[in-house]
Amino acid sequence: MTTKTVSLKIDEHEITAQEGKSILETAIENGIDIPHLCFLAGLTKTGACRLCIVELKGQAKLFASCSTPISDGMEVITNSEKLKAYRKNTIQLLLSERTHVCSVCVANKNCELQALADKLGVEHVAFEREWTSENVDSSHPFLVIDRNRCILCTRCVRVCDEIEGVHALDLKLRGKDSQIIVDFDDSWDKAASCTSCRKCAKVCPVGAIYVEGEPLSETKDTGIADFVLSRRKK
């Protein structure tokens, strides 16, 4: 089997990589940091969070690097002032929806959203916050979903469907009103298809799904999807 390679430039780095990979995957492999939230190695790409946007030389619009495949001669810019400003806006929009209060959150200091806000210098949210009140379901013996903290990245939905293979989780409604649901919008203890595997809690970037009584630093395992896939290939 021959694998075709392509040559491209990401910032100042000249890179040769396997065809078919996305810009983000290629960047990660080469130690180039592009901020991202909804992307998780081993899961399908949705381009939901828009944090991994990059500029391509010669193109006016911005591209989600997680879902844009690399091509020969591509010149990628990952960290221009324009991108920084857009990413800061995106983080602020995420923070202004729902109720993100780090100081009382189970994910405090173990949160990808919080870490990105700090890293990108989002020292305040310029948009008025919504302060919505969403449903919290703690009916499951140990898994809890607090929809107030959900950023709708759908990592849980994808890991449940693609890795665990049961599709117990899905989305209902549209836009910012979207909600993660269990089975047919049942309470979690009534969800027949859930295998209680905890993968949703392992991959949640924030504190929306967690294991009751367990520190999130122990629960979280963002490498789980990639690990399971790598064992399957053998």
Partner 1 sequence: MPTNAKTKLATMWLSGCSGCHMSLLDIDEVLLDLAKKIQLVYGPLVDIKNFPEGVDVTLIEGAVANKEQVEMLKIARERSRILIAMGDCAVTGNVPALRNSFEDSDQAVLQREFVENSDIQQTIPTDVPKLLKKVYPLHEVVKVDFFIPGCPPPAGNIAYVLTELLAGKVPLMENKSKYG
Q: Which stretches of the chain bind partner 1, using CB under 8 A?
A: 95, 99, 101-105, 108-109, 111, 114, 117-126, 128-129, 131-133, 148
* Residue with smaller CB distance to partner 1, 113 or 160: 113
Which whole-number Å values give the CA distances from 179 to 58, 66, 96, 173, 185, in the listed order? Answer: 38, 23, 16, 7, 9
DSSP conformational letter for 211 = E
83 vs 95, beta carbon nearer partner 1: 95
Burial 218-232 (b: 16+ CB within 10 A, else e): ebbebebbeeeeeee
Q: What is the DSSP letter of 128?
A: P
Considering the complex, state which of residue 105 and residue 224 has its C-beta at the smaller distance from partner 1. Answer: 105
User: What's the closest the beta carbon of residue 95 comes to partner 1, in angstroms?
Assistant: 8
Task: For the CB of residue 96, give the shortest distance to partner 1 in the complex, in Å.
Answer: 10
Distance of CA 160 to the CA centre of its chain: 14
Nearer to partner 1, 93 or 229 (CB): 93
**SS3 of 105, please?**
coil
- Is residue 125 within 8 Å of residue 172, measured between CB atoms? no
Residue 122 and residue 159: Cα distance in Å, rounded? Answer: 29
**Smaller CB separation from partner 1, 65 or 148:** 148
Minimal distance, residue 45 CB to partner 1, in Å: 27
Closest CB 125 distance from partner 1, rounded Å: 6
Residue 27 has a CB neighbour count (10 Å cut-off) of: 26
| Min dist. Cβ of residue 107 to partner 1 (A) | 9
Minimum Å gap between C-beta 100 and partner 1 is 8
Residue at 32: amino acid letter: I
Cα separation, 125 vs 130, whole angstroms = 12
By C-beta, is 44 or 108 nearer to partner 1?
Answer: 108
